[in-house]
Amino acid sequence: MPLSRPTALLALGLLCANAHAVEIDGRIDPEEWAGAQHITDFRKTQPLSGEPASLPTEAWVLATPEGLAFAFRNTQPPGVPRTRQKVQRDFDEQVDRVNVFVDFDGDGRTGYAFTVSSTGGVADEIITNENQFSNDWDGLWQHAVSEDEQGWSVELRIPWHTAPMRDGKDGQRTLKVFLARVIGSTGERSAWPLASFERPRFLSDFAAITVPRYDQSLLAVTPYVSGLYDNVGGGSDFNGGVDVFWKPHGRFQLTATLNPDFGQVESDDLVVNFSATETFVSDKRPFFTENQGIFELTTPSDFSQQLYTRRVGSTGDITAAVKFNGSLGQANYGVFAADEDGAAGRSFQALRLVRDFDKQNLGAMLTRVDDPWRDREATVLGVDHNWRPTARLNIRSRLLGSRIDQAGDKVQDIGATVWADYEMDRGWRQQWIAMHFGNDLQINDFGYLSRNSTNYLHWEVRKRFTDMPDASRYASKDWRWRVSSSHNNHGEKLNDQFRVSREGRLRDGSYEYAQMNVNSAGISDLLLRGNGIVRLPANVNTYFEYQRPRKGNWGHETELEALTGGLAGNRKVGFGAGYTATYFLSDAFSLYGGFYAIHTPDWLVWERENLAGSFERREMDLNAGLDWVIDARHELRVKMQVIALDARLRDAWRFDTQGHAVATGEPVDDFSVRNLGFQVRYRYELAPLSYLYVVYARGGYEQRPTSDGVDDLLRDSFRLRDDEQLMVKLSYRFEI
């Protein structure tokens, strides 16, 4: 019979210290797993009903000298369809899979997620801030899968050198774990313990286990060489560098790099951005993703963080960088340093300290950027506090202070955020958020903050429905209602907003999301780039998204939106629509293609000083490609994106000191943009975390002071050729 939670926790604490070696071959040998804890009490967490799982799942957990080992036996009889789709690393497709999440320090700060699909595909992620996932990190761990008529099995082992961890006491170490299984055909997720990333607390709700204290040392050196031929400029370039990973024991870990790879083998999504807010882009460079979780210090503002690694190397090559992290007693620490090359090169430093207590943890981070080229020094101090006073209430606080010294002038300011989540009965939840960012708070030398000069409040009520009738198409629905108010630090209202949204998960595995925002009149203090404010009328925007996972040979995604805005407010309505289809020629080979079209009748774009144009905007984005998982080591990916944007002037406006629009006859041109990104990437895995890449890439961007029409722009986009490159890169990891 299933173990109760207290009994399971006690049993897990008795994992035997003399565990045998486990061969990771996907076949669960009873003798190998004889000393393991056996878990059968898997409960539904998607939908989050807490009911017993619809299909039996068994799991085993065993600490061995080689690592923390897990096994899953997933019953799946012939009557339940199995997803046979091959997936690339860090996949997000809805397929049959199992998840292992581990918090090695057991303090609810950083978790590591390991996913294995039924076809042997893997994904790994880092979890911070209770339920924020990042798949930029790639770890080194073992896994294997087997299947039979009645189900499939997984074994995996996570080495002890995966992350720094505390010593523990009396030869034992307390970790926290979360185990889950997903049925791809329905989307049902079952887990042990009963925790969910859809709740405000996820990491903190993992189950505590006490295991024998094992340590592993590791020295890994990964040199790389790359050659690039520029078919436009006619030149070639050869480069090389090395990453070093050293973990002498469990309490300390060091990562260093010389001339690190800039991620040429990855392709960022194309973005055409005419707003005053910078686009956030994640980082795939190995050095900057390895055990980066300790440096996470974020706020509720979109993507805001004190340490944003894409800043490093953004103005030139990186000569060298180093970071090390570890533990001293109950405190964890991290140190980061990097230097850029050249006359405009900058130096970056960060120091991080965190301390865990019973129901709370406290951290601080100091960052500094020295920019001699601009005679600028930027220092930021951040303090973060996470408090869990009860099982229902979670409170997170952040305090940021910046000091900028540029050419002898000193400017300093602060920011603070508090957000609280309260879990009530019968699926009801509440959330409160308060934010204040000063006018002169500046963290973007090393961090990311979309805007300062902000005072923001919101209250949100949520209701989760999981007891849907048997005849319903839906397995669960999640409704949210939010009211918010935002002002700048000059007392001017940016806007008040009412938001209602609904998230629906269907019994066939599909997903729906719908949202409507009703915004009051307010001002924009960013549009004119510091040259005044713009008064904007009330507006409304709505959005709908539907995703249907693969059924047969097809998968589908659809997006729809309707919006008002600009100076026209609700008098003019814009529309957007998108559709992407994926066709599977086989389980390993798929083709996809899609579009997104948007029409904005009153689009405000800044020109100069306090002059802006009101344009009719028509945009078409195309995307297409293929994914071919040739075998476990070979992957081929083709990716193409095209953006065609046509903007025709309707009116030109100046804005007075109060932000009122005043018509002007000053010349403002129509304009158009075309943008192309195309990449063919072949990857061969020579050994774990050792790769050969062959990449062909072509792209270009052009903006014209004419309106050319979207159809012509699309055709012309395929002729763009600002860049055309062929690159070969080889990296090999040596373990000493």
Tens of pLDDT, residue by residue over 544-575, are 999 999 999 999 999 999 999 999 999 999 99
Omega prior to 223 cis, within 30 of 0: no
* The token pair that represents 376 in the structure block: 């600028």
Find the helix or strand (DSSP H, E) in which 680 lies.
Answer: strand 671-687
Provide the whole-model pTM: 0.90
| Backbone φ and ψ of 153, nearest 5° | -130, 150
Parts of the chain with a pLDDT under 50: 1-19
Specify the pairing of strand 142-148 against strand 218-230. unpaired
Neighbours of 275 (CB within 10 A): 13
The pLDDT of residue 588 = 96
| Backbone φ and ψ of 411, nearest 5° | -130, 135
User: Exposure of 151 by Cβ count < 10 A (0-12 exposed, 13-18 middle, 19+ buried)?
Assistant: buried
* The token pair that represents 296 in the structure block: 């996470």
Find the helix or strand (DSSP H, E) in which 291 lies.
Answer: none
Beta bridge partners of 178: 101
**Eight-class DSSP state of 20:** P
> Distance (Å, rounded) from C-alpha 480 to C-alpha 488?
26
The pLDDT of residue 284 = 79
pLDDT digits (tens, 9 = 90+) for 295-308: 999 998 889 999 99
Neighbours of 238 (CB within 10 A): 8
Please report which residue ranges of 452-512 form alpha helices under DSSP H: none
* The token pair that represents 171 in the structure block: 């030869």
User: Exposure of 699 by Cβ count < 10 A (0-12 exposed, 13-18 middle, 19+ buried)?
Assistant: buried
The pLDDT of residue 263 = 57
Contacts of residue 530, defined as CB under 8 A and 6 or more positions apart, other chains included, come to: none
> Distance (Å, rounded) from C-alpha 55 to C-alpha 69?
23
The pLDDT of residue 581 = 98
**Residue 202 CA to its chain's centroid (Å):** 16
- Long-range CB contacts for residues 327-336, cutoff 8 Å, separation at least 24: 327/105, 327/164, 327/165, 327/166, 327/167, 327/251, 328/251, 329/166, 330/166, 330/355, 330/356, 331/355, 332/105, 332/109, 332/164, 332/166, 332/294, 332/356, 333/294, 334/294, 334/295, 336/295, 336/307
> Distance (Å, rounded) from C-alpha 544 to C-alpha 676?
27
User: Exposure of 347 by Cβ count < 10 A (0-12 exposed, 13-18 middle, 19+ buried)?
Assistant: middle
The answer to whether residues 103 and 68 touch, using CB atoms and an 8 Å cutoff, is no
Q: Set out the domains of the chain in order of their start, with CATH numbers.
A: 5-216 (2.60.40.1190), 240-262+278-450 (no CATH)
> Distance (Å, rounded) from C-alpha 85 to C-alpha 82?
9
**Eight-class DSSP state of 554:** E
> Distance (Å, rounded) from C-alpha 19 to C-alpha 12?
13
Find the helix or strand (DSSP H, E) in which 173 lies.
Answer: strand 172-182
DSSP state string for 101-146: EEETTSSSSEEEEEEEETTS-EEEEEEETTTEEE-------EEEEE
**Residue 226 CA to its chain's centroid (Å):** 28
